[in-house]
C-alpha cells in the first residue's frame, strides 16, 4: 500500500508544552483521512510539520515519499495547504491573490480553476481582501488550496467561518478532488463534517493518537438513541425481552396500555429490530450513530485532560507582492 503521509514517533515540543507526543500515523494514497480532536489536541501542529512550517523536535515524517525539509519547492508544488489561520494581503483583491498563486503553478490552468471555484463558493474576487468577512477570507483560502490540482490536500479546520450551504459546496469539492486522484487529509473538531467525506479517521488527544479506525468501525461502536412506544405487552414483558437480547433499555408505562422504551444501543441494530418485532410499534425514533459521543468517550479516558496549551502561531505564509496590480 502506497502512503501519502507517514510519521514515525513524531514529537513537537514548544518549551514545556508537548504538542505532539511520539505520533506514528499512516495515510494511504487515494484516501480521505480525517483527524479529529478538540482545540489544542495537536492537529494544527501535525499539519504544519507536514508542510515544513515547523521542524520536528524528534521523529521523522514523509510526505509523498519525501522529507518535507529536503523536498523543497518541488514537493510544495504538489501540495494544497489551507492553514487554520489563513492570512491575506489586505491591499490586494481576491483576483490579484489568484493571479499570484497561479503564477506559482504554471501550466496547470490554475487561474481558470481558481475563478471557477470562487464562483461556486460565491466569492466576489473584485473586493479587497482586507474588506472581506472571515467566511469570505476562508473561501479565498479554500480556492488557493484547490486551484492547482494538488496530489495531496492538507486542510486544517477548512469549514471554519463558512455557512452551512457553502460547507456542503466545499465538501463536494473534496469529493471531486478525491475522485480526480488526490489524497485528502483534513482536520476538524466537528465530527459530523469528517463523517460526511472521510473513509478513515484518527483521534488525537493532547498530542497522542488514541484511536485510528475506518468510519464504518467507528459507527459500529457508536451508540444509537432508541425511543419507542409499543403495545401488546406489559412493562415487565418488555424488560425481560430486551434483557434476553442484551439490550439495556428503560421500559415504563405510557398510558392506554402502551409502554415507553428508551435507551442507548451500541452498534446492534439487528437486535433492536428483532426485539421490536414482537410488538405493535406505535412510535419509533432510532437515531443514527452519534459519533460525537463515541469520540467524547475516547477523550474522557483515564489520563485526564483533553487539550494541550494553545499552539504558537505558524511562521509567515508565502509572501504576496504588494506591487501586484489588477
For residues 145 and 16, state if they share a domain. yes
Residue 311: all three cell numbers together = 499552539
pLDDT at 295: 63
For residues 280 and 172, state if they share a domain. no
pLDDT at 1: 76
pLDDT at 196: 87
Candidates 32, 84, 9; CA nearest to 202 is: 32
pLDDT top residue among 147 and 218? 147
Half-sphere exposure of 291 (CA within 13 A, CB side): 22
For residues 18 and 95, state if they share a domain. yes
d(C-alpha 251, C-alpha 245), whole Å: 14
What are the pLDDT digits (tens) for 251-267?
Answer: 999 988 999 999 888 76
pLDDT at 136: 97
Q: What is the pLDDT confidence band of residue 299, given thresholds at 50, 70 and 90?
A: low
For residues 248 and 118, state if they share a domain. no
* pTM score: 0.76
Query: CB–CB of 267/213 below 8 Å?
Result: no
What are the pLDDT digits (tens) for 36-86?
Answer: 887 788 999 999 999 999 999 999 999 999 999 999 889 999 999 999 989
For residues 207 and 230, state if they share a domain. no
Arithmetic mean of pLDDT, 6-20: 95
- Spell out the alpha helix ranges (H) of 65-220: 68-76, 94-103, 110-120, 134-146, 164-179, 191-197, 215-220
pLDDT at 305: 43
pLDDT at 194: 84
pLDDT at 5: 97
Query: CB–CB of 156/84 below 8 Å?
Result: yes
For residues 180 and 262, state if they share a domain. no
CATH number at residue 117: 3.40.50.300
Candidates 234, 319, 305; CA nearest to 21 is: 305
Q: What is the pLDDT confidence band of residue 216, given thresholds at 50, 70 and 90?
A: confident
Per DSSP, the three-state class of 245 is coil
For residues 276 and 151, state if they share a domain. no
Residue 211: all three cell numbers together = 484511536
Query: CB–CB of 198/153 below 8 Å?
Result: no
pLDDT at 297: 62
Owning domain of residue 175 = 3-219
For residues 15 and 138, state if they share a domain. yes
Mean pLDDT of the chain: 86
Domain assignment present for residue 320? The answer is no
d(C-alpha 249, C-alpha 160), whole Å: 38
Per DSSP, the three-state class of 239 is helix
What are the pLDDT digits (tens) for 157-215?
Answer: 999 999 999 999 999 999 999 999 999 999 987 777 788 899 999 988 889 998 898 88
Q: What is the pLDDT confidence band of residue 298, given thresholds at 50, 70 and 90?
A: low
Query: CB–CB of 194/188 below 8 Å?
Result: yes
**Number of helices (H) and strands (E), helices first, in the chain?**
11, 13
> What distance, in Å, lies between the first and last C-alpha atoms of the chain?
46
Residue 216: all three cell numbers together = 464504518
Domain assignment present for residue 316? The answer is no
For residues 157 and 228, state if they share a domain. no
Domain assignment present for residue 298? The answer is no
Q: How many domains does the chain have?
A: 2
Query: CB–CB of 208/21 below 8 Å?
Result: yes
For residues 87 and 184, state if they share a domain. yes
Buried b (16+ CB within 10 A) or exposed e, 44-72: bbbbbbbbbbbebeebebbbbeeebeebe
Amino acid at each position: 500500500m502506497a502512503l501519502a503521509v507517514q510519521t514515525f514517533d513524531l514529537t513537537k515540543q514548544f518549551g514545556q508544552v508537548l504538542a505532539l507526543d511520539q505520533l506514528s500515523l499512516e495515510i494511504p494514497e487515494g484516501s480521505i483521512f480525517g483527524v479529529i480532536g478538540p482545540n489544542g489536541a495537536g492537529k494544527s501542529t501535525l499539519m504544519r510539520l507536514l508542510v515544513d512550517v515547523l521542524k520536528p523536535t524528534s521523529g521523522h515524517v514523509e510526505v509523498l515519499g519525501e522529507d518535507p525539509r529536503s523536498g523543497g519547492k518541488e514537493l510544495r508544488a504538489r501540495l494544497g495547504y489551507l492553514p487554520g489561520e489563513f492570512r491575506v494581503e489586505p491591499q490586494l483583491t481576491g483576483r490579484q491573490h489568484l493571479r499570484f498563486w497561479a503564477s506559482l503553478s504554471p501550466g496547470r490552468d490554475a487561474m481558470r480553476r481558481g475563478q471557477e471555484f470562487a464562483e461556486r463558493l460565491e466569492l466576489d474576487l473584485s473586493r479587497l481582501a482586507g474588506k472581506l468577512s472571515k467566511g469570505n477570507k476562508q473561501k479565498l483560502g479554500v480556492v488557493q488550496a484547490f486551484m492547482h490540482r494538488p496530489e495531496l490536500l492538507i486542510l486544517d479546520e477548512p469549514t471554519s467561518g463558512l455557512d452551512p450551504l457553502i460547507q456542503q459546496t466545499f465538501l463536494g469539492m473534496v469529493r471531486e478532488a478525491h475522485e480526480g486522484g488526490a489524497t485528502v487529509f483534513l482536520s476538524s473538531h466537528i465530527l459530523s463534517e469528517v463523517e460526511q467525506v472521510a473513509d478513515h479517521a484518527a483521534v488525537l488527544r493532547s498530542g497522542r493518537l488514541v484511536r485510528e479506525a475506518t468510519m464504518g468501525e467507528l459507527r459500529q461502536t457508536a451508540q444509537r438513541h432508541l425511543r419507542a412506544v409499543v403495545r401488546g405487552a406489559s412493562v415487565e414483558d418488555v424488560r425481560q425481552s430486551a434483557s434476553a437480547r442484551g439490550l439495556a433499555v428503560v421500559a415504563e408505562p405510557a398510558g392506554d396500555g402502551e409502554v415507553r422504551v428508551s435507551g442507548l444501543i451500541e452498534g446492534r441494530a439487528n437486535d433492536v429490530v428483532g426485539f421490536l418485532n414482537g410488538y405493535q410499534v406505535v412510535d419509533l425514533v432510532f437515531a443514527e450513530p452519534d459519533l460525537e459521543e463515541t469520540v467524547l468517550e475516547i477523550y474522557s479516558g483515564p489520563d485526564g485532560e483533553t487539550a494541550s496549551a494553545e499552539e504558537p502561531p505558524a511562521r509567515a505564509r508565502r509572501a504576496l507582492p504588494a506591487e501586484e496590480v489588477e
